[in-house]
Structure 1
Amino acid sequence: MNPRYPGLVKKSFIDLLPTIIGVLVGLLSVGYGFSLWKILLSGVDIGGVANLLTLPIIAASAGIALWGHRKKMEFDKSEAYLDKALELMDQARSVLFDPEGKLTNDRISWVTSARLLKHAQQLKTLATVDAHKRIFDSEHDYQRHLFAEMALYKDEQIPPSFFLGAEYEGLTLGEAAYADSQDKHTGKWIPARIVSEVFRFFSYPRNYEDPLDTATELSPDEVGSLWIGGGQPLCDYLTFRQNFTRVAGKVIKLNGPGKSQTVEAEDIDGEMQSLSGTYKH
């Protein structure tokens, strides 16, 4: 199992399985007891009948055990697919960066990354346990963050000449296309479909379901508990956000619907002295 998810889902499943089997066996036992009670009331010889009733109980118990075994096998197989998918996703990102953490423009590295990402997505579809799919999705978000942090949000953006796969620093597209480090043909240029595949995987899709859509702000009671526990600075920030916003380089004091006024730094600090501790929904 991936070290970031140390057997959490597996433990939950194993903990739950005996309960499921116990409930099924209990239901069968109740049915058996009820049948036996009716037989006793009817005056029929219980010896032979008990033997007959025992057979379905044994068969049912064997069936339950087989069912549990199959579910365990299904779970283990799904977990194996998840583990490999997570490993491939991590490798796909890592192969794009050199040991110093710099994004490489080596064509082979990009092609390898795209292949690994395709395999990871295929393995995700083979995972049959819903919890495993959710773990993959959460890891996917983590990998998006790492990739963007390392590749997209640097002080300098990636120049288009980067994707020509040879010397590119300080060169225009035309200069990089004719650089001496280029092959005779386009052997070093990173194919557009490869670049697209990598960036598509590490980007948020249009239909992305953000788990933060259900996130809410702290309630006044929660803020009160936070204040008492020593979290006054965070409480003041939350109060600040309720009363101020920033538009076109200016900070605006919100005074109700349709009312606002521009304030300076000293005005904010003065207002916050009276607003501190007044958080409300």
Structure 2
Amino acid sequence: MKGRVLICAGSDSGGGAGIQADIKAITALDGFAMTAITALTAQNTLGVQGVLGIEPGFIRAQIASVLDDLGADAVKTGMLHDSPTIEAVCDEVAARAPGVPLVADPVMVAKGGHRLLAAEAVETLKRRLLPLATLITPNIPEAEVLSGREIRDEKGMRETAEAMLTLGVPAVLLKGGHMEGDRLVDILATPEGVTRFEDARIDTRHTHGTGCTLASAIAAGLAQGLDLVEAVARGRRYVRAAIEAAPGYGAGHGPLNHAVRVT
């Protein structure tokens, strides 16, 4: 086991996304997962039925408890549902884990359409979280909100990813899952240039938690000493294998098989 990853995110009672997916993904990649839970959800493959936020002071206490004893080689953030939550996480991580790689998945809307980030918190996320992050992993709708740009094609993805570097984050992985077509393209933009990843699209409804899973897999790679491109490439292989091996549970967007192994 190598690589300690602190996950600051919400819980998914259905087990397919959120903290549950994060722990499974990091464990499958031979990392050690620790958590600071930011919210509880009543959730399944059909959608989110309810959200209960954790008091910011207790979020701070969880982060302090973990970092002061166990430490971390990487941090991953997921659902940070409002401004006080974002401020609490950023304050504690900046103070207790300076220089530790942080992968930020800017969770805004669940697959079923339930909003998971308050509208007023978008500016706080841009102001506080993005400059603290090593990598941000938005999907196309999230990138459109954060950048204020409309994305219609791959050219727009590339231009938006590059434009988002001006928000203070040193790397952007813009995921193309929402784009139409038989091929799926993700764009990794850094000040050094753009890396393009492409695969055949898998025709399946079992994609619940793909964003959480990918961000955590990348964080595990960074915690284990992989460089950014290697961590993204391995994370994508893992997610693809987990989709292909999905168990078929639930009547909606089903979970992945997080128990798969990749090299």
TM-score normalised per structure 1: 0.22
Higher strand share: 2
Structure ID, larger Rg: 1
Higher helix share: 1
